[in-house]
Amino acid sequence: MGIERQEALEALNDVAQIARRVRQSRIYQLSSLLMVMWGALVMAGNIGSSLWPRSAGFLWLGVHVTGIAASFALGAVSYSRTGTRTFDSRMFVAFLLFIAFGIFSCWLGNFNNPRQIGTFWAIYFMLVYTVAGLWVGLAYVAIGLSITALTLIGYFFAGEWFEPWMAVVNGGGLILGGLWMRRS
Amino acid sequence: MAELDEIIHQPLRLKIMAALNALPPAVAGLEFSRLKKLTGATDGNLGAHIETLARAGYVTLEKAFLGKKPQTTVTATAAGRGAFARHVAMLQEIIAASALRPE
């Protein structure tokens, strides 16, 4: 069986394209569970902040500590099943640096009300999703930009319903985004 | 020059083998539904080509039930992985040889 250069090129192109799709599909599968888990935590954080505004700082600290611990646990389970790490010590350090820069920005920007702080953190996290999406898949970009837009709508128009709004669009958005990625 | 593997060279079978070979060693295989999404093939077409690959000993099929839902997992065998690697090497050889050939 003999074939020409063009047919060989097309066949190799198909192979490369499928390999790319498999990699992306695996990233989506593995990260969707993390996204759903963070979505549930963010939803709980926003509902908690709305019900107990004075304890919001502690609540969010609890959300982040729980989220990091659960991310490590999910990472360990996924590693034992698939040999792929979804959350390792390098990501943990990156996460700490990201949080530290966020705290510094809040201090520098003199954000002094929960609405500003809530909007900043949501948009800041979604910026990471959007930028990461440029490399790992457009689903991340779509989720990042949609939640950013909905957060800004909430900031300007949700009034005293800002925190419930954020529970739905930020927490709910991540949960729906994670489920959508699982199917794609 | 060695012959191209006719079983693998068919476009959809090449895609199936490429998808299975792109998996890390720790992952056993791909479910039929996922392969269908990745290759863009129809149920019948995909099933027929998987059967051809299975008859050649390039893939194995494992049928199980997830609750009440039947699930078929397709896994590349060692022979299948080897045949795929040789086929890709052959395609690269054809391209390299044509680049050296005067027009």
Determine, yes or no, domain membership for B84. yes
What pLDDT is recorded for position A113?
Answer: 85
Determine, yes or no, domain membership for B1. no
Q: Residue B97's pLDDT band (boundaries 50, 70, 90)?
A: confident
Q: Is A14 in contact with B14 (Cβ distance < 8 A)?
A: yes
CATH code for position B89: 1.10.10.10
Average pLDDT over all residues of chain A: 89
Mean pLDDT of all residues in A4-28: 89
Determine, yes or no, domain membership for B40. yes
B17-50 residues labelled b (16+ CB within 10 A) or e (exposed): bbbbbbbeeebebbebebbbebbebeeeebeebb
A178 has a pLDDT exceeding 70: yes
Q: Is B38 in contact with A15 (Cβ distance < 8 A)?
A: no
Which of B19, B88, B98 has its CB closest to that of A22? B19
Q: Residue B103's pLDDT band (boundaries 50, 70, 90)?
A: low
What pLDDT is recorded for position B102?
Answer: 63
Rounded Cα–Cα distance for residues A85 and A83 (Å): 7
Determine, yes or no, domain membership for B60. yes
CA distance B45 to chain A (A): 17
Total count of domains within chain B:
1
Q: Which of B3, B95, B101 to mutate to test the interface with A (most CBs of A within 10 A)?
A: B95
Q: Which residues of A touch B22 (CB under 8 A)?
A: 18-19, 22-23
Domain that residue B14 falls in: 6-100
Residue in chain B lying closest to A21 (CA): B38
Could you read off the pLDDT of A84-133 as tens digits, one per residue? 677 778 888 988 999 999 999 999 988 878 889 999 999 999 999 999 88
What pLDDT is recorded for position A146?
Answer: 95
ipTM of the shown complex: 0.86
Please, which residues have CB within 8 angstroms of residue A31's CB and are 6 or more apart in sequence?
A: A86, A136, A178, A181
Domain ranges of chain A: 21-183
pTM of the model: 0.75
